[in-house]
Amino acid sequence: MFDSFLIGMREGLAAGVALALLLACLVKEGGRDAVRPVLTGVAAAAVVFLGFGFVLEHGPQPLTFQARRLLAAVLSAVAVCLLTWWILHLRHPARRPAAALVATGFLVVGRVGLETELFVWAAVRAATGSGGGNGAPLVGVLLGIATAVVLAGLIHRGALRLGPAKFLPWTGGMLVVVAAGVLAYGVQDLQDARFLGGAADRAFDIGSAVPPDSWYGALLEGVFAFGPSPTVLQVTVWALYLVPALGLFLAPVGFGRSMGVEEQKATDEKAGSGGDGARGDGGTVPDSERVCDGARRTGGGPVGDER
């Protein structure tokens, strides 16, 4: 039961963390109405992939291992593209199309759902099988998913409590890490299915220090997409995505200074067109009169009027 619990928690967090951060960004932008399309995509993904798993489990023609891994890799790549689009537009709030919001929720959950539905239906089969069955795996998976939902909710609330100066750097940076992990998982899927080589070339192996079947190993893998023994290609792709994406997100806005200058010029022109800067006859104030006015305000007399 504990193994099933860890599987449910790990897979639930793999989708829940990204959704929690994205929804926090929408709420911070004042777009609470945009939360519903994302949740619609989440519900659609849950229904589609549970139904997909049922068909594969009870249908006449199961999906091959290679085809399943290829589909998971494609979903990972599309999800990373959409997450990257979100990340690079976080500093420029704008109204996002409802279709993009639905697609975000669908892909983030769908990528994980393709893996999770195998465990869910295996647990259902164990619970309803002949000979009395064993409901412990199903209970464990459901408890793990419920725990992931609670943890994702806490991450969502914690992100909303961040101040304006910390919110974007922390949430955006975390989303970059999540997207890099999703991309690395896609590479692993392709290597497992032998579409890419190097599956035996490990960059490092710290499985003895962080066992994947431990609660903290499952937690790290779910939140950060951290694997204790990644391949060299996974680490390479992870770094090639992470470093440029973080650089683009954290880089100062190039046109921010010029925009500020233009706004200041517009403000100065408005200030100069009214008040002391204009006469009742619509003419402008000569420079000599401005000097005299300045002298009077400082307590002195006009130039040439000293006694």
pLDDT score for 183: 92
CB atoms within 10 A of CB 118: 14
Please work out, in degrees rounded to the nearest 5, the angle formed at the alpha carbon of residue 16 by the alpha carbons of 85 and 180. Answer: 45
pLDDT score for 191: 94
Of 186, 192, 187, which Cα lies nearest the Cα of 75?
186
**DSSP classification of residue 94:** -
Cβ-proximal residues to 85 (8 Å cutoff; 6+ apart), any chain: 100
Cβ-proximal residues to 37 (8 Å cutoff; 6+ apart), any chain: 98, 101, 102, 105
pLDDT score for 268: 53
Q: What is the spatial distance between Cα 76 and Cα 277, in angstroms, rounded to a whole number? A: 61
Query: Average pLDDT, whole number, for the chain?
Result: 78
pTM of the model: 0.74
Q: Which pLDDT band, with edges at 50, 70 and 90, does 305 fall under?
A: very low
Q: Which pLDDT band, with edges at 50, 70 and 90, does 301 fall under?
A: very low
CB 225 within 8 A of CB 181: yes
pLDDT score for 275: 46
- Check residues 238 and 56 and name the one with the higher pLDDT: 238
Domain ranges of the chain: 2-251, 257-297
CA 215, 108, 112, 12 torsion-angle sign: positive
CB 41 within 8 A of CB 102: yes
Q: What is the spatial distance between Cα 241 and Cα 102, in angstroms, rounded to a whole number? A: 25
3-state secondary structure of 307: coil
Of 191, 119, 52, which Cα lies nearest the Cα of 183?
191
Q: Which pLDDT band, with edges at 50, 70 and 90, does 225 fall under?
A: confident
pLDDT score for 130: 54
Of 20, 51, 55, 54, which Cα lies nearest the Cα of 38?
20
Look at 16-25, 130-139, 164-173 and tell me which has the smallest mean pLDDT: 130-139
pLDDT score for 296: 45
Average pLDDT over residues 98-115: 82
pLDDT score for 283: 47
Q: What is the spatial distance between Cα 109 and Cα 12, in angstroms, rounded to a whole number? A: 9
pLDDT score for 248: 87
Percent of the chain with pLDDT over 70: 74
Look at 73-77, 113-117, 262-266 and tell me which has the smallest mean pLDDT: 262-266
pLDDT score for 184: 92
- Check residues 222 and 279 and name the one with the higher pLDDT: 222
pLDDT score for 50: 80
pLDDT score for 90: 76
Domain 2-251: give its CATH code. 1.20.1250
pLDDT score for 255: 37
**DSSP classification of residue 99:** H
Q: Per-residue pLDDT tens for 141-187?
A: 889 999 999 999 999 999 989 888 888 888 889 999 999 999 998 99
Percent of the chain with pLDDT over 90: 22
| Whether pLDDT at 294 is above 60 | no
Per DSSP, helices labelled H in the chain are 2-28, 35-58, 65-88, 98-128, 136-161, 164-192, 215-224, 232-250, 256-272, 287-297
- Check residues 64 and 205 and name the one with the higher pLDDT: 205
